Amino acid sequence: MSEPSLLLDGITHVYVTERGASLAVDDITFAIHPGEFVSLVGPSGCGKTTLLSIIAGLIKPTLGDIRVAGKEAGKPSPRIGYMLQQDYLFPWRTILDNVMLGLELHGKADDTRRKWILHLLDELGLLPVRDSYPHQLSGGMRQRAALVRTLATEPDLLLLDEPFSALDYQTRLQLEELILDILKAHKKTALLVTHDISEAVAMSDRVLVMERGPGRIRHEIRIPDPIRAAGPIEARELTGFHPLFHEIWRELEDPDRKEGRP
Ligand SMILES: Nc1ncnc2c1ncn2[C@@H]1O[C@H](COP(=O)(O)OP(=O)(O)OP(=O)(O)O)[C@@H](O)[C@H]1O
Ligand SMILES: [Mg+2]
């Protein structure tokens, strides 16, 4: 079997502030395999963003190991793309200049990459607005631009922290569909944080449910093939969809419920 794209082993993180130390995530261990799409759901404050920041190399965990494609990770790297909830586009740069930024920072802004970016902008319907400024675009267009910027450096692993939360429902569904198509076409591995259970079930191969205080993984749900094979909009119509939704809902709703204990 090939190396996992991402391997977390015993990740534990304690935040230390002037008010004391708090255990944010405790002994998180899981792997994500090449091409897999995994979602992380859990109550606010359970450590989802902390975990993504640790994987992206922005926070050094107190304990534990991270491996990306078999290699020790823990430093920011072009192999890992991190898309935050806010789009963080620079208002004074055009869309094209914004999405080129990652390549410029990594010194990779050559002709081949430029063509790849124009191709991505085209795939996401942004070619006509490439010379516009972020404020001239809708929220959905800005999110798509942020996605192009994340994909620009051709990362093997994408970390998406509630990338659709600012969008209206219809745009959100369209973008879910589009992103999944692009990730599958380019065989990317992804870890998505979302508060939307439907989104997690509709997009993922697996859903990890976290609990709070301290943040731990309490449950893992494998999404069955028919739902995985369907697009995110179609998946929501399938008979197997609602039982999965409710299973995750119950896990999130009842903080005392433990696996094997009804
Ligand atoms: N820089 C920090 N310093 C101290 N404590 C922090 C810091 N960042 C996060 N925390 C704490 O760590 C815990 C986990 O926070 P985190 O942002 O990872 O949660 P989350 O699951 O992403 O929540 P949400 O769903 O609201 O985005 C929370 O209790 C939070 O208050
Ligand atoms: Mg968060």
Atom 27 of ligand 1, nearest CA residue: 44
Ligand 1, residues 50, 86, 212: which to mutate, most atoms within 8 A of Cβ? 50
Ligand 2 centre distance from Cα of residue 52 (Å): 9
pLDDT at 1: 62
Q: Where are the alpha helices (DSSP H) in the chain?
A: 48-55, 95-105, 111-123, 139-152, 169-185, 197-203, 225-229, 232-235, 241-253
Q: Read off the pLDDT band of 262 (50, 70, 90).
A: very low
Does residue 24 line the site of ligand 1, with CB under 6 A? yes
User: Rounded mean pLDDT of 129-149?
Assistant: 91
Q: How many whole angstroms separate alpha carbon 53 and alpha carbon 57? A: 6
- Which segment of 9-23, 26-40, 105-119, 204-218 scores lowest on mean pLDDT? 105-119
* Residue 158 and residue 32 in contact, taking contact as beta carbons nearer than 8 Å: no
**Among all chains, which residue has been given the structure tokens 């935050």?**
84
Model pLDDT for residues 78-101, shown as the tens digit of each residue: 889 998 877 789 999 999 999 998
Q: Read off the pLDDT band of 261 (50, 70, 90).
A: very low
Integer angstrom CA distances of residue 49 from 16, 213, 232:
17, 15, 24
Ligand 2 centre distance from Cα of residue 42 (Å): 10
Q: How many whole angstroms separate alpha carbon 34 and alpha carbon 248? A: 24
Ligand 1 centre distance from Cα of residue 156 (Å): 26
* Residue 208 and residue 40 in contact, taking contact as beta carbons nearer than 8 Å: yes
Greatest alpha-carbon pair distance for the chain in Å reads: 59
Checking if the pLDDT of 45 tops 80, the result is yes
Model pLDDT for residues 230-256, shown as the tens digit of each residue: 999 999 999 999 999 999 999 998 766
Does residue 128 line the site of ligand 1, with CB under 6 A? no
The structure's pTM equals 0.90
Which atom belonging to ligand 1 lies closest to the Cα atom of 85? Answer: 27
Model pLDDT for residues 179-212, shown as the tens digit of each residue: 898 888 888 999 999 999 999 999 999 999 999 9
The rounded percent of the chain whose pLDDT value lies above 70 is: 96
Does residue 47 line the site of ligand 1, with CB under 6 A? yes
Ligand 2 centre distance from Cα of residue 207 (Å): 16
